[in-house]
Chain A
Amino acid sequence: MEPQALLVLLLFVLVLSIFLGFELINKVPSTLHTPLMSGANAISGITIVGALLASGGEGTFSSILVGTFAVFFASINVVGGYLVTNRMLKMFKKK
């Protein structure tokens, strides 16, 4: 695909996703603000996909090394983020 056409497509996806995000989270009760934040934080660890490609893909030693560090940090973000959110949500109970 032409780079320009690809850019337009990706921007299109970006804009729609931002609107979707606003719609999705508009009415969150304040009780769930912390789990929502840490759950969203875990999702932002999706950057791990890019990190894996940089670490395991073709590249120079330095680009692979940098990518490997990215995998390390992103996986802490993902694993820790989801677990901690789960730990918090387990406590929210109604009697």
Chain B
Amino acid sequence: MIDFFQSSIFVNLAYIFASILFIFGLKMLSSPETAQRGNLVSASGMLIAILVTLAQNEIIAYEYLLIALFGGLVVGVLASSLVKMTSMPELVALFNGFGGIASLLVGVAEFINPSSSTLIQIIAISFTVLIGGITFSGSLVAFGKLSEIISGKPLILFGQRFVLSALLLVAILLVLELIIYTGLLNISSQTILFILIGVTLILGVLLTAPIGGADMPVVIALLNSYSGLAASSAGFVINNNVLIVAGALVGASGLILTNIMCKAMNRSLSNVLFGGFGAATSSSEGSGQIQGEVKPITAEDAYLILEAANSVLVVPGYGMAVSQAQHVVRELGELLEDNGCEVKYAIHPVAGRMPGHMNVLLAEANVSYDVLAEPDDVNPLMDTVDVCIVIGANDVVNPDARENEGSPIYGMPVIEVDRAKTVFVLKRSMAAGFAGIDNPLFLKENSRMLFGDAKESISTLVSEFKT
């Protein structure tokens, strides 16, 4: 009986079963009603894959792997339960990087194992190391930017593109040398592999460092896709179907998300990756002088307008995450509803620092997900909205995207808040958004600026309502 559980037919059947669970799990993740169960389905697929692997007779020693498994378990449990919801983007980036480095190490372990590798395996190892390395260092840079350990601004090195192309060429040459091994370099193939690892790590940094904070959702989605491709590639190294299937599913889902994010910004992927957006100095050229003046409003006056409003649309942005205003926002929403007002939330796909960032924060504050709307749903009805409350969002509500052909964000689908009867813009100061572009919304006739910390401003509104 034990023989059967260790036979390769049983192991492979179990891997197929695990793949089916991953597929169903992902399918269920795409609807809010079933998502939580879907995640559990996918997790049980993973558990099955791990258990049958451990039961295989190919595994002869358990002490190291059990220590590592236990260590990873402890770190994973602690990190996922201790982190605050607002730090979710950086944690996801970090986990993603760990997936990348794990695939890279699987490739390396297979390479230095004396049992001779076939040509196909060596090609697969090179790919795994290449993608895994870029995923790892790229995710670490993303982690650094998101947690503000390093500056969120785009870092453009002198001759960035040249260095990048040169390194890419070096990486390709090293891969070729690994495959055909001409011996021209007069170093062992192991040394070549280690140089290749170094090159891929630098590549990951160079690819991520130039990308600004506002473009982070695209990068995170893309790195997510890479980590899947690395796992898939590792599947070719060890001839394992479940790695290929699961990795490809992740790769595809990451690419879909990347595409959604790019469309939401009306930019191509190469423009996001290599455009150095936000580093442009003459961004508002061609728009001429922006006419109008900034009209500040006090929280007391804002309360009077809100009190009379029948419909309110809340448009959150990264500023809401920074000031952790989601809970007071929900409280204000409830007070408005009690007052007979219809409250909706309009969320732009790239608002925040990762795909769906705002949705997670509002869900944390107990906002029902069926009042969260996408730009396409709210824009046609914008003329009927009495008050739009823009909380720390900037570029995603910039009317220049529709009106000013000279603007760098012209053509980007935005939430057209300026068409509402009144717009409150909650902002710390008049500083430009992450893209560094002027926003004529602030100067429009129907705009009122509510300066100060978003959380404090909304708390004042809440207390006005309560008195």
A→B interface (CB under 8 Å): 3, 6-7, 10, 13-14, 17-22, 24-60, 62-95
Contacts and interface: CB of A to CB of B under 8 A. Distances in A.
Contacts of A45: 46, 98-99, 102, 231
Nearest to A81: B95
A87 B77 CA distance: 11
Interface stretch (B198-206, B284-292, B349-357, B412-420): B349-357
B62 A56 contact: yes
A73 B105 contact: yes
Given A40-B29, A71-B65, 8 more contacts: A14-B248, A44-B227, A49-B242, A56-B65, A78-B76, A79-B72, A79-B80, A90-B36
Contacts of B30: 24-25, 27-29, 32, 36
7 contacts: A21-B250, A32-B31, A35-B29, A40-B253, A43-B22, A56-B60, A71-B102
B80 A83 contact: yes
A48 B319 CA distance: 38
Given A31-B369, A37-B92, A70-B105, A10 B73 contact: no
- How many chain B residues sit at the interface, stated as a range, is 35 or more
Contacts of A33: 257, 260, 349, 354-356, 359
A80 B102 CA distance: 14
B79 A76 contact: yes
Contacts of B210: none
Given A68-B64, A88-B360, A37 B252 contact: no
Given A24-B26, A55-B64, A37 B354 contact: yes
Shortest beta-carbon contacts, A-B, top 8: A21-B252, A75-B72, A79-B76, A33-B356, A17-B248, A80-B76, A33-B355, A70-B105
B60 A94 contact: no
Contact of A10 (B22, B50, B241, B369): B241
Contacts of A65: 64
A49 to B, nearest CB: 5
A62 B220 CA distance: 32
Contacts of B231: 44-47
Contacts of A78: 46, 50, 72, 76
B25 interface: yes
B378 interface: no
A76 B26 contact: no
A46 B32 contact: no
Contacts of A80: 75-77, 79-80, 91, 95, 98
Contacts, number: 396
B170 interface: no
Interface stretch (B114-122, B171-179, B307-315): B114-122
A3 B318 CA distance: 51
Nearest to B115: A58
Contacts of A53: 53, 56, 58-59, 238
Given A30-B349, A40-B253, A69-B68, A50 B243 contact: yes
B458 interface: no
Interface in B251-270: 251-257, 260
Contacts of B75: 76, 79-80
B35 A89 contact: yes
B164 interface: no
Interface stretch (B37-45, B181-189, B402-410, B438-446): B37-45
Interface in B79-93: 79-81, 83, 85, 88, 91-92
Given A35-B29, A82-B46, A89-B35, A30 B355 contact: yes
B363 interface: yes
B109 interface: yes
Given A27-B30, A47-B106, A22 B256 contact: yes
A46 B248 CA distance: 11
Contacts of B23: 20, 24
